[in-house]
Amino acid sequence: MKKAPVRAKEAGRPVPLETSSGIPIAPFYGDPAPGDFPYTRGISREMYRARFWTMRQYAGFGSARESNRRYRYLLEQGQTGLSVAFDLPTQMGYDSDDPVARGEVGRVGVAISTLEDMRILTEGLPLDRVSISMTINSTASILLAFLLAVARERGLRWDALSGTVQNDLLKEYVARGTYIFPPRASLKLTTDVFEFCGKEVPRWNTISVSGYHIREAGSTAVQEVAFTLGNAIAYVEAALARGLAVDEFAPRISFFFNAHSNFFEEVAKFRAARSLWAEIVRDRFGAKDPRSWRLRFHAQTAGSTLTAQQTDVNAVRVTLQALSAVLGGASSLHTNAADEALALPTESSARLALRTQQVIACESGAADVADPLGGSYLVEAWTEEIRSRARDLLRKIDGLGGAVAAIEQGFLAREIEEAAYSAQREVEEGRRTVVGVNAFREEEDLRPPLLTIDPAIERDQIERLAAFKSRRDAAAVTTALEALERDAREDRNVMPAILTGVTAGVTLGEVVARLKSVYGEHGPGG
């Protein structure tokens, strides 16, 4: 009978001391050790031996009540952190009853227009015990205000809350397009959240600087690193200009990267990004606190690589991509569901995506050693190559006047477009193989059962919103909106005014409309 590997309890989880063959397992191998500056090998000595990464499945659709049910289900299945997807109207600053929102309410995420919606979305969820990530940018300050107001209603201290608001406005102008205000006004709003949370919500990650969407738009791995860190530099400079001390806000900066298809390049990319950021924060900005130097990142497997053909194969792609994120040292991870090229995930496909993480964590051995690929000739060479090429791109961005100026000049968008075009040509000409698309195709491709959104959800959401508006104190709403506009015009931090407003019943769309009257609106042409 095969002997079971010996395990010890280390920092809250069982860690094997030897393999099934009796080979001793060391916490790490080689030199320098994980946890040493510049953290190429990881941000701590123990990495996942202390605790697994946060398994944070991205979810949200239809109404707040429907999404709440999905969150409860995922927590029951072993998810360890919540990640909220918002519908396009919410992302773009429109209430569900706005004519512009028609047909989009609850389609690609949950519809949140009011404080009441946030109450329903988080009903029964332990806000002080489970970290919540909100993938929201242009309206980040408003959604954060909704959450903080709900926590206050429930008697929870803000310093007990942990989570992340993406709040990365700059990448919207080059990758996603869900911007509202011009870039410099957006940068101001991002910095408002930095300043407010630094004083009031100290455990909250005030930004998740996103390379994920840059990569989804077609960038290379090198561009993903360089453009993400270039944007992060702009956020740090804006916070410093506000008078904030770097070691007060830098520890709460987090990152969001894509786990793409080339397994070893992705591992090298994560390692390179971590070491570059450590050098930038310490040497360029003079941070003294080691917590400021450590790049903590969430990873998500690459949605753009999922295929509508042979959807079962997507589960294989996701497994390899997720493993690259774990071997690269992700702090939290989302695994895409196999059916996401066709629709939002069903309950069963979401469960399988979560199980993928759990198998990697508990069965593969990848979490038992810090930086298990460290010392690989290939991984070390590619780590250095990505680091060197990303540095060159960062120098170009600096030469253009920084990330904001580079965005305004169209540099980042042009670079991404050229890379995306080149990659698509490779697939079309057969120089890059995509299983099921340009090779190993099947004549009949059966589609799995898909999640559908009940059209009645939009009607119900609009009716609830009308009822909410009819119950509120109209005078209090008017007063709150006037105070918000005054603070925006006088260049004050608008977070307190937004909080006061949403507590008084101001809707998301009303906040955005009032801020547009001050900051203006950014169109596709700039």
At 419, the pLDDT band (50, 70, 90 cuts) reads very high
- CA-only gyration radius of the chain, Å: 23
pLDDT mean over 483-494: 98
Query: Greatest CA separation found in the chain?
Result: 77
What's the pLDDT score for residue 439?
95
**What's the CA gap between 22 and 25, in Å, rounded?**
9
- Look at residue 264 in the predicted model and tell me its pLDDT: 98
User: pLDDT at position 12, please?
Assistant: 58
Amino acid at 334: H
Q: Are 208 and 254 in contact (CB under 8 A)?
A: yes
pLDDT tops 90 at residue 14? no
Amino acid letter at 381?
A: A
Q: How far apart are the C-alpha atoms of 490 and 191, rounded to whole Å?
A: 15
Q: pLDDT tens for residues 15-56?
A: 889 999 999 999 999 999 999 999 999 999 999 999 999 999
Is position 452 within any domain?
A: no
Higher pLDDT, 223 or 446: 223
Q: Based on the structure, what is the number of domains in the chain?
A: 1
Write down the pLDDT at residue 444.
80
The answer to whether residue 389 sits within a structural domain is yes
The helix (H) or strand (E) run that includes residue 58 is: strand 58-59
* Mean pLDDT over the full length of the chain: 95
Q: Is the pLDDT of residue 1 over 50?
A: no
Residue 85 lies in a domain: yes
Q: pLDDT at position 180, please?
A: 97
- Residue of higher predicted confidence among 393 and 12: 393
User: Is the pLDDT confidence value at 4 over 80?
Assistant: no
Q: Is residue 362 part of a domain?
A: yes
Region 479-486 average pLDDT: 98
Give yes or no for residue 417 having a pLDDT over 90: yes
CATH code, domain carrying 179 = 3.20.20.240
Q: Quick one: average pLDDT of 98-108?
A: 95
Look up residue 249 and give its two tokens: 């806000």
Q: How confident is the model at residue 452 (pLDDT cuts 50, 70, 90)?
A: confident
d(CA 313, CA 316): 5
Identify the pLDDT of residue 10: 52
What's the helix, strand, coil split of the chain in %, to 5? Answer: 50, 10, 40
**Is 36 among the domain residues?**
yes
Domain membership of residue 21 (yes or no) is no
Beta pairing partners, 414: none
Q: Is residue 321 part of a domain?
A: yes
- Choose among 388, 273, 405, 290: nearest CA to 331: 273
* Amino acid at site 524: P
Q: What are phi and psi of 170, to 5 degrees?
A: -65, -40
pLDDT above 50: residue 190: yes
Q: What is the pLDDT of residues 264-309, one digit of tens each?
A: 999 999 999 999 999 999 999 999 999 999 999 999 999 999 999 9
Q: Give the tokens for residue 18.
A: 């030897």
Rounded to whole angstroms, what are the CA distances from 334 to 74, 304, 351, 441, 506?
Answer: 12, 14, 12, 28, 33
CA distance 71 to 128: 15
pLDDT over 70 for what percent of the chain? 97
Residues in the chain: 526
CB 230, CB 273: distance < 8 Å = no
> Is a pLDDT exceeding 90 seen at residue 446?
no
Residue 105: CB atoms within 10 Å? 29
Helices (H), 329-454: 347-363, 377-399, 403-408, 411-428
d(CA 220, CA 198): 34
Distance CA 163, CA 152 (A): 16
Tokens of 280: 């930038």
The confidence score (pLDDT) of residue 59 equals 87
pLDDT computed for residue 345 by the predictor: 93
In this prediction, residue 469 carries a pLDDT of 98
Q: Whole domain around residue 276: which residue ranges? A: 31-40+56-428
Residue 264, domain member (yes or no)? yes
> What's the CA gap between 325 and 421, in Å, rounded?
26
Do the Cβ atoms of 450 and 339 come closer than 8 Å? yes
Hey, what amino acid is at 344?
L
